A = this chain, B = another copy of it.
Amino acid sequence: MSQKSQGKQKKTAIRFLREANFPKWYQEVITEADMAENSGVRGCMVIKPWGYGIWENLKARLDQRIKETGHENCYFPLFIPLELIEKEAAHVEGFAKEMAVVTHHRLVSKDGKLEPAGELESPLVIRPTSETMIGESFAKWIQSYRDLPVMINQWANVVRWEMRPRMFLRTSEFLWQEGHTAHATEDEARVETAAMLEEYRALAEDWLAIPVIPGEKSAAERFPGAVETHTIEAMMQDGKALQAGTSHYLGQNFSKAADIKFQNKDGGESFVETTSWGVSTRMIGAIIMTHGDDDGLRVPPTVAPRQVVILPIARDDEATARVLPAADELVKKLNACQAFGNPIRAIADKRDMNAGEKRWSWIKKGAPLIVELGPRDLDQGTVMVTERTDIYGKSSHNTDEFVAQIAQQLQGIQDRLFNEAKAYQDERLRTDIVDLDGLKKFFKKDKYANGGFVRGYWDESEDSEAALKPLGISIRCLPYDQPTEPGTCILTGNPATKQAIFAKAY
């Protein structure tokens, strides 16, 4: 258990510094914050209460917004018959290399060993995404323009087999929501695609304090089967990009594959226009790599499983008898308050362990506020408060005043996290690189500090994008806010009308 002294030489709670070894720092934060662990199944992780609690709070918020914007939740099967997924050619090609396949439906014991038995007539794949299954239902549900739009969502697990798994970022199984809608017109479908990307932007920025760049993906980076893919791209503290949510305009590709037709207002028959959009547990990786520091995780108060942790400080039985009930009382008062539209989530940590170790366990978990409460505090009617964003800035406050301003204080921490991350991103968004050489040089700089994002003109040519691949650089998106003047493509020197974001990426 690493400890930190208040002496001159700062020690950190995480063994690896971000700047020294970002991937190991990331892994270590997950372990020290007790968020997740590897399981006995390659590429699959166990999400522990602190990690899952963040997901539950993220989910509650997004689910509320999905419903407020007119969508209803459903549940579709885990399995997809091979003959169905084959229908959309680009789609199946995109996912063929990473699909888990079920071939048997029971086990038999043979020579004391279990073996698969009961071979299926036709294998089933485990959903990597559900356009196929949902398309089958849409074809049944939709007959007339009166049945449109259909706007649904599901919260589910999906499987995309990973050869190089990393917790939260790339796992063979992950949790997500996938929204699927069908519309009468292209216009409506495009409006929906944009509206849901805007929901994701708001979720990232306003709820998770993660600044993002919204934009459209290049053709090469599109979702398999989509006409357009829109994305929010976040910058991690190693300068790399993380695609944090995507919204796809699918046109009639899936409706033609699944034969989703409707009688239009003119009495003719048309294929519906569909969209899909998703956000996954990958977002937890984004939270870690955006907000974490060398002492562990820092969780935005909006989604912290515990926003306030009371640590009762008592050296003897007499003190314990006074302090524990006072801690419970304080939890009760706090939980009666609201922040971010929900009741405060406070607890008293009464575990029987070393006080310093206990305090550090919450710092590493990133609980926004740690409140120490000892007999002297009780005498004075005060509490000793530490903000996770300023762990050496302990200060004493009148208890009632502390409770009265709790929502503002949490909002203050939330804002600080966003502003810090925004400043980081702004600082590392380069707009002064004008050619391929400059680009190469910029991204070669450092193994872990990958420099950041480059924003520059691009002529949208396939070849120039493909040439970036061996360099480990990719086009993250064509941001929505574009200059009005044309310019020169930084990859080819050709004239270009649009700018793109170039970066190394997760």
The answer to whether A107 and B114 touch (CB under 8 A), given A40-B136, A133-B39, is no
Give residues of chain A (68-102) contacting chain B, Cβ–Cβ below 8 Å.
72-82, 84-86, 92, 96-102
Q: Which segment of A49-57, A294-302, A364-372, A400-408 sits at the interface?
A: A49-57
Complex Cα–Cα for A428 and B208 (A): 55
Query: Which residues on the B side are within 8 Å of A49 (C-beta)?
Result: 72-74, 152
Q: Does A103 count as interface, using CB distance less than 8 angstroms?
A: yes
Do A77 and B39 touch (CB < 8 A)?
yes
Q: Which residue of B lies closest to A123 (CB)?
A: B116
CB-contact partner of A48 in B74, B77, B84, B109, under 8 A = B74
Query: Which residues on the B side are within 8 Å of A39 (C-beta)?
Result: 76-77, 133, 136-137
Query: Which residues on the B side are within 8 Å of A108 (C-beta)?
Result: 96
CB-contact partner of A175 in B40, B44, B56, B75, under 8 A = B75
Complex Cα–Cα for A52 and B156 (A): 13
Q: Does A489 count as interface, using CB distance less than 8 angstroms?
A: no
The answer to whether A44 and B79 touch (CB under 8 A), given A96-B107, A101-B104, A104-B100, is yes
Query: Which residues on the B side are within 8 Å of A423 (C-beta)?
Result: none
Complex Cα–Cα for A257 and B133 (A): 38
Interface footprint category on A:
35 or more
Query: Which residues on the B side are within 8 Å of A124 (C-beta)?
Result: 41, 100
Q: Tell me how far the C-beta of A477 lies from the nearest C-beta in chain B, rounded to whole angstroms.
A: 29
Q: Tell me how far the C-beta of A146 lies from the nearest C-beta in chain B, rounded to whole angstroms.
A: 7
Query: Which residues on the B side are within 8 Å of A102 (C-beta)?
Result: 100-103, 126
Q: Which residue of B lies closest to A84 (CB)?
A: B40
Do B105 and A161 touch (CB < 8 A)?
yes
Q: Does A429 count as interface, using CB distance less than 8 angstroms?
A: no
Give residues of chain A (162-208) contacting chain B, Cβ–Cβ below 8 Å.
173, 175
Do B52 and A75 touch (CB < 8 A)?
yes
Do B103 and A103 touch (CB < 8 A)?
yes
**1/0 per residue A362-390: CB within 8 Å of B?**
00000000000000000000000000000
Q: Does A445 count as interface, using CB distance less than 8 angstroms?
A: no
Q: Which residue of B lies closest to A96 (CB)?
A: B107
Complex Cα–Cα for A74 and B101 (A): 26
Q: Which residue of B lies closest to A75 (CB)?
A: B47
Q: Does A446 count as interface, using CB distance less than 8 angstroms?
A: no
Query: Which residues on the B side are within 8 Å of A101 (C-beta)?
Result: 102-107, 116
Complex Cα–Cα for A106 and B161 (A): 8
Query: Which residues on the B side are within 8 Å of A348 (C-beta)?
Result: none
Complex Cα–Cα for A37 and B161 (A): 29
Query: Which residues on the B side are within 8 Å of A137 (C-beta)?
Result: 37, 39, 46
Q: Does A125 count as interface, using CB distance less than 8 angstroms?
A: yes
Q: Does A45 count as interface, using CB distance less than 8 angstroms?
A: yes
Query: Which residues on the B side are within 8 Å of A46 (C-beta)?
Result: 74-77, 133, 137
Complex Cα–Cα for A108 and B55 (A): 35
Do B40 and A78 touch (CB < 8 A)?
no
Q: Tell me how far the C-beta of A168 lies from the nearest C-beta in chain B, rounded to whole angstroms.
A: 12
Complex Cα–Cα for A49 and B134 (A): 13
Q: Does A140 count as interface, using CB distance less than 8 angstroms?
A: yes
Query: Which residues on the B side are within 8 Å of A126 (C-beta)?
Result: 78, 102, 126
4 further interface pairs, Cβ-Cβ under 8 Å (given A46-B133, A78-B126) = A78-B157, A85-B114, A97-B106, A99-B107
16 A-B interface contacts by CB (under 8 A): A37-B140, A40-B81, A40-B133, A44-B79, A46-B75, A49-B74, A82-B107, A82-B114, A92-B114, A99-B106, A100-B104, A102-B103, A103-B103, A104-B123, A118-B161, A126-B126
